[in-house]
Structure 1
Amino acid sequence: MALDNPLEEYFRNNKGRLIHKWMHYFDIYHRHFEKFRGKPIVVVEFGVSQGGSLQMWRDYFGEQATIYGIDIDERCAELGGPGTHVLIGDQEDRDFLRTVGARTGPIDVLIEDGGHTMGQQLATFDVMYPLVKEDGVFLIEDLHTSYWDEYGGGYRRPRTFMRRAKQLTDQLNAWHSHDSRLVVDDFTRTTRSMHFYDSIVVFEKGHVVEPHHEMTGTRIFDS
């Protein structure tokens, strides 16, 4: 029986390389990525592992997509193919990340599924998020590591990605702040929305201008 979600259907019928995913991720992927299918886009995935997800993204996004996989394991270099390129390096190394950005150019979809340590996640977001196009999507997953000591996480611990994401919800609303500590910046101007799920945060980019409000209709009561 065909499933409503082509990504989950691919996963459940996978005859290719190994894919390891939390099952609730598939609905999130499809919700935010469907609009890019069949288009000439640039997709970047951090975390190649066995290469199965690169095959899945190729099947999902279509032949017009250019796909880049990033991994620290040199064995992954052989997992590329037509229109799919694998770059080897440490995602916590910001200089390496800049070389990635120089290679990929502007990005439509970025999937952060790399090493999952706080240093790796924060470096990747800081360097790569500005490279995501207007109307593009940055999805970072496996954020349960923000609560795991062995990855540098912990509940309410400073410098976790979830702490950063929570702070960025304030930045999303900076237009309305009267406090000099919270001012409109590039994130405010280029981020249309943030979506929080179990272990995933999705950032949707766009051109954002200062909100305004209007009134229509006839007043019934005096102020």
Structure 2
Amino acid sequence: MNKLKYLYEHHNGKVSDKWELYLEKYDRILCEYRSHPINLLEIGVQNGGSLEIWSKYFEASSQVIGCDINRDCYDLEYDSDNIFVIVEDSNSDQAEDKVKSLANGFDIIIDDGSHHSDDIIRSFARYFPLLKDDGVYIIEDLHCSYWKSYEGGIYNLYSSMSFLKNLSDYVNREHWQPEDENFINPILDQLCKVDASIDDDQLKKLHSIEFVNSMCIIKKRPVKNNTLGRRFIVGQDNSVKNLDAHQFKGLKVSKEELDVQEQSPISTIRAYQNERSLMAEKLENLESELHGIYQSNSWKYTSLFRLASRIIKKMVPNQLR
């Protein structure tokens, strides 16, 4: 039986809003965490119903923390003493400090906040480091990532879905990331755009990324669990292709293979966008300088001379100038 779905179907407390698909996936993903006390952080509280249900779903000694920017959340009260609500912008240092004061790391983090791409990316950079090894980070309502009003779009290279797709490539980083200090990591590129950062040692703990409709499930594991490990070549009969275990000590990608990536459409588009941004910045600076000239005293003092010059040009024939 789906315990979480049962709780939702029989819930009479504060209102919670979840899609049915989410309940099915949550029960599959989170059932292993029900056997022991855990720390859960949910970004986005709204009416507070999901915190009540999470409190019932997990062990009584588990700690359930919600964070929401809406000041009305101050009025939320709970019968359970293991539910805590932080009323702050989740992407502020104040919110992070309060979250850290309540729990020493989290087993589960759920982002059900603003759904804006910039906020999703910032939240990941801020709170993924607080996720314990063997923890799970879940992002809801990613359909918003395709909407312009949420800083999204299917071809938007800086949408939250584009960021998460790049994270899925990072799981395979040992096969494509060159050892070149000039290489621009697309993930760090996106983080810089939203004034966020994350330590590379944390990204190395990305174990798996799963996508379902409007939802992303990210699992974190110790670095040693995220490589291919030893290659097993067993058996005696290799009549089709001779495989020698000593030949396959590791995968080495040639520089030529990596060079192909530099010509990818995404790299071309990003280069065009960067060039366009630089041109827009130059144009803005020129307009600012021009505005400064128009506001200067020298421009005002010479206005009569410019007017006289225009009148003379109109009065004197071109051939006499």
TM-score by length of 1: 0.91
CA distance in structure 1 between the partners assigned to 2:235 and 2:121 by the alignment: 48
Contact 1:79 1:86 survives alignment (8 Å) = no
Match in the other structure for 2:44: 47
Displacement after TM superposition at 1:83 (Å):
1.0
Larger radius of gyration between Structure 1 and Structure 2: 2
Displacement after TM superposition at 1:79 (Å):
3.2
Match in the other structure for 1:68: 65
Contact 1:92 1:119 survives alignment (8 Å) = no
Match of 1:219 among 230, 237, 253: 237
1:17-66 deviation per Cα after TM superposition (whole angstroms, max 9, x unaligned): 11111111111111111111141210001111111100110110120211
Find runs of 4+ consecutive structure 1 residues off by over 4 angstroms: none
Match of 2:210 among 178, 190, 195: 195
Displacement after TM superposition at 1:187 (Å):
4.4
**Amino acid of the residue matched to residue 61 of structure 2?**
Q
Q: Structure 1 pair 136/178, CA: closer, same or farther in 2 (3 Å)?
A: closer
Q: Where do 5+ consecutive residues of structure 2 fail to align?
A: 187-199, 243-321
Match in the other structure for 2:143: 144
CA distance in structure 2 between the partners assigned to 1:178 and 1:48 by the alignment: 38
C-alpha RMSD of matched pairs (Å): 2.0
CA distance in structure 1 between the partners assigned to 2:163 and 2:127 by the alignment: 15
Contact 1:192 1:205 survives alignment (8 Å) = yes
Q: Structure 1 pair 178/109, CA: closer, same or farther in 2 (3 Å)?
A: closer
CA distance in structure 2 between the partners assigned to 1:45 and 1:86 by the alignment: 10
Match in the other structure for 1:163: 162
Counterpart secondary structure, 1:79: coil
Match of 1:207 among 216, 222, 228: 222
CA distance in structure 2 between the partners assigned to 1:153 and 1:18 by the alignment: 28
Contact 1:129 1:138 survives alignment (8 Å) = yes
Name whichever structure is richer in helix by fraction: 2
CA distance in structure 2 between the partners assigned to 1:72 and 1:134 by the alignment: 28
Displacement after TM superposition at 1:178 (Å):
5.8
**Amino acid of the residue matched to residue 99 of structure 1?**
D
**Amino acid of the residue matched to residue 148 of structure 1?**
W
CA distance in structure 2 between the partners assigned to 1:187 and 1:88 by the alignment: 27
Match in the other structure for 2:26: 29
